[in-house]
Chains A and B, each alone.
Chain A
Amino acid sequence: MSSATMTIDDRVAEFAAAVGEHFADLPEAERDELLADLEQHLKELAADAPDAFEAEMGDPAAYAAELRAGAGLDQHVDQPGRIGRWGIAARDRVRSVLDHPRMEPVHEFVPMLRPAWWIVRAWAPLVVLGMLTEGAWNWSRHLIIPGRHLLGLLALAVAIGLSARAGLRGEDEGRIWRAVAVIGGIAAVIVLWSALFVSPRETVFVETFMADPFGEQPGLLTHPDGEGITNLYVYDANGELLRDVFVYDGAGRAVEVGAYADEWYGIESDVRIDADGRVVGNLYPLTQYVRDGEGALVLRDVPEVSIPRLSGTEQPAPPPDIAEEPATTTSVVEERVEEPSPPSSVAVEVPQPTRPPGQVIPD
């Protein structure tokens, strides 16, 4: 063979190598096989039609792209599965919208939001994890509100690191970072969706939950032994159950149990509102319902209590006596009292109602 043919062989090898650079995503063995085969093919072509060789072998990138299209090698050699194809189709559709010229201002604006998105994407999985492990794991709530404990802060810092790393990943970088990004994104969607659409009642729960992330039953009125207080039944010294009684504490604040009791004990209370439409939470006893064996709501029974007999008073005590001894005539007797006990801390000594009783209207 003449030296001219040698030159063409060299050029073939050079061109094949240049084309091969555009197949860096293929597994090495497959790429080597492709290049050897391509070189063989190009040699045939060069020998057959040297002129055509010059014409065909213009741009290695264009040749590689055409080869890819013909061989059905899209970005990666392994063909995407059904879900993968669905994802690609969805992505293409989104891209076609985003590429519209009118979207140009958005293109300039959106990149600025990326770091914020990375943080949301980092925090959201912690919220989901915290909710899923709630109760099973004492620390779970610190994941939701990371500010309260070092562990939560640490977890958030790690998550933000991973999220940002995934956000800065290269085009060809491994699936793990993409998976990190996708998981974070899904969690963020779940969290944002539930934040927007959960019912107000659940929101109340989340708020109390945030108020005291350390307590087992946050926001509940409890006895010193930890048992929750779900309603207040107020009796006078004659053992008469009083109805529609406002209860305030020593600082004049309304004492409310209803909303929290509802969440924790599955007890439903009638809501009373005042003339301005505000919920009145401290008018006792609350009218409550519980679920019977079949799940139907039934009126909750008034608990049986034994009213203590006060020393130095006649039984039954006449009304004038009560008026003379104001400090002991009103006691607040909580449900399920088994033995006589002095008035508990919720007893109202000097009521300073912030809401005039006259404004109360029944539900």
Chain B
Amino acid sequence: MRGVETSQLLKGVLDLAVLAVLHDDDAYGYAIVRRLREAGIEDVGDASVYGTLRRLFQAGCLASYVKPSDEGPNRKYYAINDTGRDQLAIGAKEWRTFVNNIDHLLPEEVAA
């Protein structure tokens, strides 16, 4: 299951993934993309992550601040706040329930 279907799956949980990355540490846009890719979510596009950041920020889940860089442009960092942590907790719980349910649904020989 590659391509469109994987990216469709991903869209539903990108919020959760981005919140999880920021839960570890504050980060700027492209750094988050890199962290997601390092974590194995390679299909993720820069535009998707950037859009998700904007939406989470507008929903009040994130704070942001600009940090000067030694070389290159200033960087806009995002930080998770209490609302974001609540969302992360809720999302994580939903995700585990969902994965669990799907696991039970899948035939044994495929689920391995």
Interface residue ranges, A against B (CB under 8 Å): 34, 37-38, 40-41, 43-45, 47-49, 52, 56, 62-73
Contacts and interface: CB of A to CB of B under 8 A. Distances in A.
Contacts of A47: 69, 71-73
Given A41-B29, A44-B73, A69 B54 contact: no
Nearest to B11: A69
Contact of A69 (B46, B48, B53): B48
Contacts of A38: 50
B86 to A, nearest CB: 19
B75 interface: yes
A44 B30 contact: yes
Given A44-B29, A65-B47, A68-B51, 5 more contacts: A41-B30, A45-B29, A63-B47, A70-B14, A73-B51
A64 B72 CA distance: 25
B44 to A, nearest CB: 10
B72 A44 contact: yes
B50 A41 contact: yes
Most central of A47, A69, A71 by chain B CB within 10 Å: A71
Contact of B48 (A41, A43, A44, A67): A67
Interface string B25-58: 0001111001000000000011111111111000
Nearest to A43: B73
Contacts of B53: 70
B28 A70 contact: no
B76 interface: yes
Nearest to A9: B73
A64 B46 CA distance: 11
Contact of B47 (A34, A66, A72): A66
A34 B73 CA distance: 18
A63 B75 CA distance: 21
Interface string B58-72: 000000000001011
Contacts of A65: 47
Contact of A67 (B47, B72, B74, B76): B47
Contacts of B54: 34, 37, 70-71
Contacts of A62: 47
Contacts of B34: 48
29 contacts: A37-B54, A37-B76, A40-B76, A41-B30, A41-B50, A43-B72, A44-B30, A44-B73, A45-B30, A45-B46, A48-B72, A52-B30, A52-B46, A56-B47, A63-B46, A64-B47, A66-B48, A66-B51, A67-B51, A69-B11, A69-B48, A69-B51, A70-B11, A70-B14, A70-B49, A70-B50, A70-B52, A71-B52, A71-B54
B55 A71 contact: yes
Most central of A41, A52, A65 by chain B CB within 10 Å: A41
A275 to B, nearest CB: 73
B12 to A, nearest CB: 11
- Please provide the 6 A-B residue pairs with the shortest distance between their CB atoms, ordered closest to farther: A70-B51, A47-B72, A71-B51, A66-B47, A70-B48, A67-B51
Contacts of A52: 30, 46
Most central of A40, A47, A65, A70 by chain B CB within 10 Å: A70
A34 B52 CA distance: 13
